[in-house]
Chains A and B, each alone.
Chain A
Amino acid sequence: MAELHLHDVSVRFGGLQALAEVNFSLMPGEIVGLIGPNGAGKTTVFNVITGVYSASGGHVEYNGENLTGLKPYQVLHKGIARTFQNIRLFQNMTALENVMVAQHSRSSCGVFGAIFRTPTQKREEARIKEKAMEELRFAELDEFADEVASSLPYGHQRRLEIARALASEPSSILLDEPAAGLNPAESSELMETIRKISERGINVLMVEHDMKVVMGICQRLVVLDHGVMIAKGNPEEIQKNPAVIEAYLGN
């Protein structure tokens, strides 16, 4: 069971304060929603956690370890996977290959093993493939395994991205607007998938604009506005919070 803590995390781009001393935690088994108006800094939070940006102040702690200075692939090795707002699949690879790539970090054989097909290597490939198929089944995409990613319908691509993130066997997953562009039927399928992820014991932190999805599955919410955390609490509390209402609706 993993714990993620943000301690006074600040990010600066030149003169722009993108995040100012953001503090919150993601506790074992939780589904937490990160919300706020456009430009509030939600994606920046994801980028700091995953090592794409480095914090100019404060730090991110995961399972008691400081993540400062780690590269994205190293953060992933610590157990934090993510998806993107605009889908970033490897468009020219098949669905299966997309998921298999994500297990690169979980395999041990080097180049020579890969070229010369050692028995260990063969076993490993087989294991990776089996694991990837499992994730595709989980995301109900197994029948599309050999389709090229770019040819899949939009909703499927979303789920494929999640399957890929899960393939690295993370203990936490960060979902960036997973419901964006989905129709209502696809949205409810997605909520079901997220619940299933949580049941596997994986913590979920999601940025989402679709309030039906947010209110439907999140246990806690964190609200950002212009890089500042203005509220946190359970959905009911947040809905009544005057600061949140002001941020969304303006004066």
Chain B
Amino acid sequence: MEYFFQQLINGITLGSVYALIALGYTMVYGIIQLINFAHGEFFAAGGYVGVIFMSYLLSQGAPAWVCLSGSLILAMAYCAMLAMAVEKVAYKPLRSSSRLSVLLSALGMSIFLQNGLMLTQGVYDRAYPTELTQGGFEFGTVMLSYMQLFIVSLTAFLLVALNFLVFKTRIGKAMRSTAQDKIMSALVGINSNRIISLTFAIGAGLAAAAGIMVGLYYGSVRYDMGFVPGIKAFAAAVLGGIGNITGAMIGGFIIGMVEIFAAGYISGEYKDVFAFLILIGVLYFRPSGIMGENVDDTRV
């Protein structure tokens, strides 16, 4: 039983990370029907901005909470701006082109950003100051580290904040209406370009937060770190019903859990196989994903 609980904690932690990244995919897809392949790179960039700023703050003798929150805010802001710039340069000029052109542009942007990160930050792993986040609770043999607690609670906070933004605020209404009908939204006075830009910014901000959490939790970042989690999070977004915010969160947690439990009870070798089997299985019975279509009022 203790083994089960330990794996449950592991699964929730990993699921949190996937959920945060998946949101960016799903929001962007919801609003301009684009699979933003460059999204994983925002995650990596966030991890780097975080470590650079955090190391600086630490060297200045700042207390731990200042280091954590300061670098978190800075990384989120940086990636939000980066995403807006990417949208402006690579996607906006292609707004009226075929979806394939935009998709290719996204792929190109992903390669460009990843190589940019490699050239500026080097090919070596960069260590995070893990001393900030050691220790944890022990329940018998079950370990719950402070870091896991931090990841799960920060994710929960961001998810609640995002839900509030999308469903309870004017900006959220504008995002939802733009997702449903861009021309009509413009005709009721919404600057849809601004809303699209904002959607990219929010998605990238969440990915940046995930980047920092991954850096802190696993101890290091590398320029190509966006690729694998990017694919997993994309799978999570599709599983949940791409375009659907609640779906992306659920999808993220499911993929995280399945991976951990498959590794924990079957074999680590096949955990990805199981994660994608679940994806295929769900899509077979519900082609639009768990939350897709039928309840798409949550679409952004």
Contact = CB atoms under 8 A, between A and B. Distances in A.
Direct contact of A and B (CB under 8 A): yes
Contacts of A104: 170, 173-174, 188-190
18 contacts: A52-B187, A76-B186, A76-B189, A77-B189, A82-B187, A84-B184, A90-B176, A92-B297, A93-B176, A93-B297, A101-B174, A101-B185, A104-B189, A105-B189, A115-B161, A115-B169, A167-B188, A168-B188
B272 interface: no
A114 B183 contact: no
A97 B189 contact: no
A100 B186 contact: no
A101 B187 CA distance: 11
B165 A114 contact: yes
Given A76-B189, A93-B173, 16 more contacts: A52-B183, A73-B189, A73-B190, A76-B187, A76-B188, A90-B176, A90-B180, A90-B185, A92-B180, A92-B297, A100-B170, A101-B188, A104-B188, A111-B198, A114-B171, A114-B172
Given A90-B180, A125-B170, A81 B165 contact: no
Contacts of A168: 188-189
Interface in A91-114: 91-93, 97, 100-107, 109, 111, 114
A22 interface: no
Closest 4 CB pairs of A and B: A105-B189, A72-B186, A92-B297, A76-B189
Given A71-B186, A114-B170, A128-B170, A91 B161 contact: no
Interface in B149-192: 161, 164-165, 169-174, 176-177, 180-181, 183-192
A164 B181 CA distance: 14
Contacts of A50: 187
Contacts of B174: 101, 104
Contacts of B271: none
Interface string B125-167: 0000000000000000000000000000000000001001100
A168 to B, nearest CB: 5
A148 interface: yes
Interface of A: 50, 52, 71-73, 76-77, 81-82, 84, 88, 90-93, 97, 100-107, 109, 111, 114-115, 124-125, 128, 148, 164-165, 167-168
Contacts of B192: 73
A165 B188 contact: yes
B267 to A, nearest CB: 43
Interface residues of B, number: 27
A102 B189 contact: yes
Interface centre among B169, B170, B171, B187 (most CB of A within 10 A): B187
Contacts of B189: 73, 76-77, 102-106, 168
Nearest to B173: A101
Given A93-B176, A100-B170, A115 B165 contact: yes
A135 to B, nearest CB: 12
Given A92-B297, A114-B169, A114-B171, A101 B181 contact: no
Contacts of B224: none
Nearest to B161: A115
A84 B191 CA distance: 19
Contact of B171 (A72, A111, A128, A148): A111
B177 A72 contact: no
B171 to A, nearest CB: 4
Contacts of B165: 114-115
Nearest to A92: B297
Contacts of B169: 114-115, 125
Nearest to B80: A111
Interface centre among A101, A148, A165 (most CB of B within 10 A): A101
Interface centre among B170, B174, B176, B190 (most CB of A within 10 A): B170
Given A90-B184, A91-B180, A100-B170, A105 B297 contact: no
Contacts of A114: 165, 169-172
Contacts of B198: 111
A84 B198 CA distance: 27
Contacts of B222: none
A148 B177 CA distance: 13
Nearest to B193: A71
